[in-house]
Amino acid sequence: MTTTEPIRLLDLGSVPPLRSQTIFHAVGYALTEGAPDTILLVSPDAPYVSIGRHQDAEREVDLAYCAEHGYPVLRREVGGGAVYLDGNQLFTQWIFEAAHLPATVEARFALYSETLVRTYRALGIAAEYRPINDIHVAGRKIGGTGAARMDRAEVLVGSLMFDFDVATMARVLRVPSEKFRDKVIQSLTDYMTTMRRELGSPPPRATVVAAYLAACSELLGRPIVPGELRPDELALAEQLDVRFASREWLEEGGGLRRAGVKIHQDVRVGEGAHKAPGGLIRCVARVHDDRLDDVAFSGDFTARPASMPAELDELLVGCELSEPALLERVEGYYARTRPEIPGVAPADWVAAVMAATTSEVPPA
């Protein structure tokens, strides 16, 4: 963090849901050596659902309901969980050179979150940073953050919450029963907050933007200068629109990757989940003769590199189904590759596998 070069501001106002996701990816992938760091501000002009890079869309979201009500479901390249989004959120997205940010994901989360905390405090809301990547007000969450690497760009994303539609958020999620959904609504009501809830009515967008930019400039020690999208960034966003709208991208990840093995008395399939400090890990596993025959991880964690969960899937195939054997493989992977997965230790992946393999799903 040695540079004092100006940061480019791209305040795009309201854009269609698809573009609200693809534009920060485009700016990230288009970052070239010597190009300015960018702070991008944008809101969607219509509701949609965004799922994290490592989530399984079918397990997390009621896709039929979303289709019926015209809510696009879009996978992003940043970790985290499924969330309903609309024009009541102002997305704040940093696309920076790695050398201009702290060295670790945890430290980047802390810096980025502090700008949001200071913004809320300037508006009269007593926000606090809650590691690893959340912001709270008196115990209620008012936002989370995510991170990803896009070629040479380090990307951090979050939002400033003017308001939030709790009922629709609960409805777009896939849950086991309506009684469970009622609990989700109650929990969101009890443990989430917004500017509207804290202040009675949210401030004007211009007031919030001014407070946010002042916080960013002060913390980063750099001027922030309005700019424009370059033609190459717009062209890349159009290409990404096609990819992000595709069924293939939405369905990537989450399921067993090698099908066609007949299930019999020596083969069982199970699904389980484990809550680590850094997020929920879901696991689907197939066991053959007490060894993992296939495994697939998904969840709302943040992983760097993004390929890490798939690499772990492959690594564990053939492993003896025992905690010591699984832990040895996962710890070996961590030692060799040194992945950045805030709040997720080797033992958490093992716990997810064991949760999956202790709950057998009978064959159809």
Q: What span, in angstroms and rounded, lies between the C-alpha atoms of 326 and 320?
A: 7
- Domain residue spans in the chain? 7-250, 267-361
In this structure, are residues 219 and 111 in contact, taking their beta carbons and an 8 Å threshold?
yes
Q: Of 143, 288, 302, which Cα lies nearest the Cα of 212?
A: 143
pLDDT beyond 90 at 202 = yes
H or E element at residue 41: strand 38-44
Over the stretch 152-175, which tens digit does the pLDDT of each residue have?
999 999 999 999 999 999 999 998
Q: Which fold has domain 7-250?
A: BirA Bifunctional Protein; domain 2 (3.30.930)
pLDDT mean across residues, the chain: 90
pTM, to two decimals: 0.80
Q: Residue type at 71?
A: Y
Joined tokens for residue 352: 């997810």
Homologous superfamily of 267-361? CO dehydrogenase flavoprotein, C-terminal domain (3.30.390.50)
Q: Quote the radius of gyration of the chain (alpha carbons, Å).
A: 21
Alpha-carbon gap, residue 2 to 101, rounded angstroms: 9
**Whole-angstrom Cα distance, residue 301 to residue 277?**
9
What pLDDT is stored for residue 334 in this prediction? 95
* Backbone torsions φ then ψ of 225, nearest 5 degrees: -120, 125
Q: Provide φ and ψ at 169, rounded to 5°.
A: -55, -45
- Residue 18 CA to residue 85 CA, distance in Å, equals 12
Burial class (CB in 10 A: 0-12, 13-18, 19+), 30: buried
pLDDT at residue 241 tops 90: yes
pLDDT at 359: 59
The model's pLDDT over 94-136, given as tens digits with 9 standing for 90+, comes to 999 999 999 999 999 999 999 999 999 999 999 999 998 899 9
